[in-house]
Homo-oligomer: A and B are copies of this chain.
Amino acid sequence: QIDPEKHEKLILEIIKNLYSKIAEFKIGQKTEKTLSPGLEVTFEKRLTYADVFLFSLISGDWNVIHHSEEIAKRTKFGGRVVHGLLTTSLASALMEMLPGIVVLLSVEFQYIRPVYVGDTVRGKAVVVDRLPGNRLRVEVKFINERNEVVVKGNCMVLVWDSVNL
């Protein structure tokens, strides 16, 4: 009899290894800087077709403009694009890079330019306000390899002290 939790862990390890063969495996590392307005973190990642495929698996969005080069070519985009919400999933890593245990309160993102499958995007987050109740307002921006802004937005987060955990 296999322990179901061990079985799940084993399957996820295999998935991680397979994913790493066809995508960029990266972990957003905690900054060592002190939390204060002006604090900036960056996270860069190449968004491969494996990322698009995994995002479709978890989200249930199998829109053809992400999967069919043939159909995507005939649209205004001219090629397969990455899900908007996949690009901005990198904001999750940016928030996690801030000091403490970071909890998301709200987000708003504007998708300005398409991100194509295979593009490398660079996310930048800047703490702009420290508000009562350990809340932070963080500005985020994503640029592509041609230095064009692809997404602009804001996140509100709550920060818990991780010292006693």
A interface residue numbers (CB < 8 A to B): 7-8, 11-12, 14-16, 18-19, 21-23, 25-28, 43, 45, 49-51, 53-55, 57-65, 71, 74-76, 83-86, 88-93, 95-96, 101-111, 160, 164-165
Supposing A15-B19, A49-B8, A89-B89 touch, asked if A27 and B60 sit within 8 A by C-beta, the answer is yes
Residues of B within 8 A of A71 (CB): 165
A54 to B35, CA, bound (A): 29
Contact B89 A57 (CB under 8 A): no
- Write the nearest CB–CB distance from A52 to chain B, whole angstroms: 9
Instruction: Determine whether the beta carbon of A90 is less than 8 Å from that of B60.
Output: yes
What is the bound-complex CA distance between A55 and B19, given in angstroms? 12
What residues of B have a CB within 8 angstroms of the CB of A23 in the complex? 57-58
* A59 cross-chain contacts in B, Cβ below 8 A: 89-90, 92-93
Contact between B8 and A50 (Cβ–Cβ < 8 Å)? yes
Q: List 22 A-B contacts (CB under 8 A).
A: A8-B22, A12-B50, A12-B53, A14-B18, A15-B15, A15-B18, A16-B53, A54-B57, A54-B58, A55-B89, A60-B90, A60-B92, A61-B89, A63-B101, A75-B165, A76-B160, A83-B104, A85-B107, A88-B107, A105-B110, A106-B111, A108-B109
- Find the B residue at minimum CB distance from A25: B57
Top-3 shortest CB links A-B: A60-B93, A84-B104, A61-B92
Q: How far is the CB of A157 from chain B (nearest CB, A)?
A: 10
